[in-house]
Chains A and B, each alone.
Chain A
Amino acid sequence: MDSDEQNISGLLDDQSTLDDRRTSSSLSNQVISGESKETLISKPEIASKWLTAYNDNLCSLYTLTACICFVDLNGDGDQKLVIADLGNGVQGMKLNIYKGTFILSQLTLIDCPSGVVSFYMDSNAPRIPAIGVASGSYLYIYKNLKPFYKFGLPSLEIHPSEQDAWNQLVADKIDASQLKVLLENLRIEVGEASLTARSQRLIDLTDPGVIDDFIGRYKDQPLKRSTIITCIATIKKTVDEDNNLNCLIIGTENKDILIIEPDAFTILTSVQLPSIPVFLEISGLFNVEYRVIVSCRDACIYTIKRGFKTGRLCVQLNSQPVGLVRYNNNIIVGTMDQCLSCFTINGNCVWKINQQSGITCLTAIEVEILGLTLIAVALESRTVVFYNGKSKVDTIETENVITSMKFGRYGREDNTLVMVSRSGSLSIRILKRTAKFTSIESDFGEAGSGSTMKMNIPKKTKLFIDQSVREPIHRAFQQDLYRLRLVVARAYVKAIAASLNPMSSNAVDPLKLSAQVHGLGPVFRLILEIQNTSLDQPSYNLNLFFYCDVKIYRIHRNFIPVPNLQPGYIYTFATKVECVNELNVSDFIKIHVVREGDSTPIITAIINMPSSETPV
């Protein structure tokens, strides 16, 4: 293979230049230690938490955070650093493997890399991981720094009109310019992304000579439409251990996520997304339960769970994301509007911190010895800021704008931060053993003014929730209560109008009538008490009338003339009532107090009679 030769020649080159490199690197080390001493004196913050282990300003690397990874290349615990260099974006793409402070090997890449991962593809005894390089529409697998396998993404369907146009050209029915017009029309119809790479290239060409040359060279080859890998990540397959089998997760330009099993390179799952994935964050195990957090080019974050064929919308961002990190169960995303935001997995914003300048990249810093996970945010203002949750805990000033960085175990050092700057320099920093991350107090004010301050609103209690549920019930109850009161009031008015109440509020004859029923039946004794409640006016010419159902009761004295009623005194009258009904039903008896010669009663008492005993 081509790249194999390249590999060997690269190795030879390395060996010849190794000594030079070593001396130069150690010299640069000296220079740097000298510089750091000076800065230590000049700056008040003496205790930097990071040691500068290596600095190379001349290596001219152009890479992405996704293209840096640490690989235990020989399975001996001595981790190597793999950086895929994008060259100048068109050519000179390389895979650099660093050991310590020098380059161990350099492999040439054919296409622009979009991501590098280290993964275990088999369960063989010396656990040696493979390096996977996503580049163009292929995934190149290296084992022991040798090309091992090239996995091509499945090719996509070609639009029938496009195929037809090219067929016509081959059959000499149309010429190159007609083909170009046909393809241009098709592009307007279906969009550029649905055309093959060959047609896209042809549309871009303008010089007729070049077009003829291009067509002459490619027209007889079969038309193929392939997609491009945009991002890559790994997931543990079954067991959550350091060197266990992995699966690969690939995002493509065709708006889907593929999960690939690296034993035979079969596609296990494919998930369709509404847009093109850019950043991937993985949690869980493939065979148990997993969640993939994807940020896409439509500035939305989607989540994918095991067993789902489509992504679920999680957050719609205001600006394009530049970095995505999973932090505990939250998503931390840096966006182009200088914001660092934290969202829950359900898409609720937890906090948001405005940065002083644009964010270039993000990475998670997992310090195992401290049990901490920090977020490192590289800014355009040549600083790297470290956040523990939402509190700022540390900053590093750098000479250049850091554009990609990765934290992990390098060599035998657990806490190593690798940073590549915009000018292409590589810097390796090691976290001091004695470093403690406490929040920078003085920065709190700034952060407070910049960030959206959260109001101190107490949580909704259970009581509140219960109350809000009860509210409609309460309203219905109130309504019924008013209705009841209305009914009562109406009845009251009616009673007053008919003088059906035992209290007379009449100004002339204020009387009070009460009645008692003695006995068990069938013969009762009815005792009536009448009182004149006025202060000084006696009542005259009053009579008591009894009204009842004659089929049920027989009253001995149906009519009792009432003597002169003096104010304040209680007058007692009595009569016998006999229940004559054989079924012993009970009924009411009405007692009216009537003035002689008047037709409406002054007051009325209604006595609900008790049910009578059966006659012996």
Chain B
Amino acid sequence: MSLFSRLLSYLGLKKKEVNILVVGLDNSGKTTILNNFKKDEDKSQEIVATIGFNVESFHVNNLTFSAFDMSGQGRYRNLWEHYFKGIHAIVFVIDSSDSLRLVVAKDELDLMLKHDEIASKPNLPLLIFANKMDLRDALSSVRISQALGLESLQERPWHIQASNAITGQGLQEGIQWLTEQLINQKK
């Protein structure tokens, strides 16, 4: 492993810093997902509703992530656009059991993708976590991608990942896809 990492550092890939924006409706599990990436000693036991935003940093595969954990409450959603500048990826979290508000999530996603800052970077990767997959009335990730109209995104690299932020299921796969995208783009 140490040999491999040295090799990576020679290639100029070690400790690259990337900024990602974590958005989604309130109660979708953004903070819980980020809590899972943190080291065990930093993990918080109780997740409360985020006010404004938090900045978390963690390392995955030699990438240092600075994640802007935005609050999803309606009154704070207008803050999102102020952080579109200088980000390398977007993580959009959806509560897959909240079928009622799927349409709200779609509206927010469309608004974000139409924003000048995002629209001008068509290769900015978009990772979608269909969170709370364990719940009884959760929709499948396929159905969610249909509901969000993701197939209409042509240029932008996107990936939808069913996840369970409490157990951490699906999170690594999602972030793995994101790192691959980011590393490819760095090259």
Contact = CB atoms under 8 A, between A and B. Distances in A.
Contacts of B107: 51, 432-433
A186 B43 CA distance: 80
Interface residues of B, number: 24
A433 B100 contact: no
B94 interface: no
Contacts of A434: 111
B143 interface: yes
Nearest to A51: B103
Given A26-B139, A51-B104, A411 B147 contact: no
Contacts of B56: none
B28 to A, nearest CB: 10
Interface in B122-144: 137, 139, 143
Nearest to A411: B100
B100 A22 contact: no
B117 interface: no
A53 B104 CA distance: 8
A345 B108 CA distance: 42
B100 A101 contact: yes
Given A102-B137, A433-B108, A412 B101 contact: yes
Contact of A433 (B27, B74, B98, B102): B74
A34 B143 CA distance: 14
Nearest to B149: A33
Interface string A416-451: 000000000000101011100000000000000000
A410 interface: yes
A53 B106 CA distance: 11
A432 B105 CA distance: 11
Contacts, number: 65
B39 interface: no
Interface in A81-117: 100-102
A29 B74 contact: no
A558 interface: no
A53 B111 contact: no
A369 interface: yes
B77 A54 contact: no
Given A100-B100, A413-B104, A434-B111, A29 B137 contact: no
A60 B160 CA distance: 36
A373 interface: no
Interface in A1-52: 18, 22, 25-26, 29-30, 33, 51-52
A26 B100 CA distance: 10
B87 to A, nearest CB: 21
B75 interface: yes
Given A100-B137, A369-B74, A412-B26, A53 B147 contact: no
B100 A30 contact: no
A253 interface: no
Nearest to B49: A77
A52 B103 contact: yes
A412 B27 contact: yes
B75 A101 contact: no
Interface in B15-46: 25-27
B2 interface: no
B56 to A, nearest CB: 23
A261 interface: no
A414 interface: yes
Contacts of A54: 99-100
A250 to B, nearest CB: 32
B47 to A, nearest CB: 15
A414 B147 contact: no
A415 to B, nearest CB: 8
Contact of B103 (A25, A414, A430, A433): A430
B120 interface: no
B147 A33 contact: yes
Contacts of A30: 146-147
A22 B102 contact: no
A33 B102 CA distance: 11
A18 B137 CA distance: 9
A102 B98 CA distance: 11
B14 to A, nearest CB: 41
A313 to B, nearest CB: 43
B99 A430 contact: no
Nearest to B74: A433
A430 B101 contact: yes
Contacts of A369: 74-75
Interface in B64-110: 74-75, 77-78, 97-104, 107-108
A260 to B, nearest CB: 34
A29 B27 contact: no
Nearest to A101: B99
Contacts of B111: 434
A63 to B, nearest CB: 19
Interface of A: 18, 22, 25-26, 29-30, 33, 51-54, 100-102, 369, 410-414, 428, 430, 432-434
Given A29-B147, A54-B99, 13 more contacts: A22-B99, A26-B143, A26-B147, A29-B99, A51-B107, A52-B103, A53-B102, A100-B137, A101-B99, A102-B137, A411-B98, A413-B100, A432-B107
14 contacts: A26-B147, A29-B102, A29-B147, A33-B149, A51-B104, A51-B107, A52-B103, A53-B101, A53-B104, A411-B101, A412-B25, A412-B101, A414-B74, A430-B101
Interface of B: 25-27, 74-75, 77-78, 97-104, 107-108, 111, 137, 139, 143, 146-147, 149
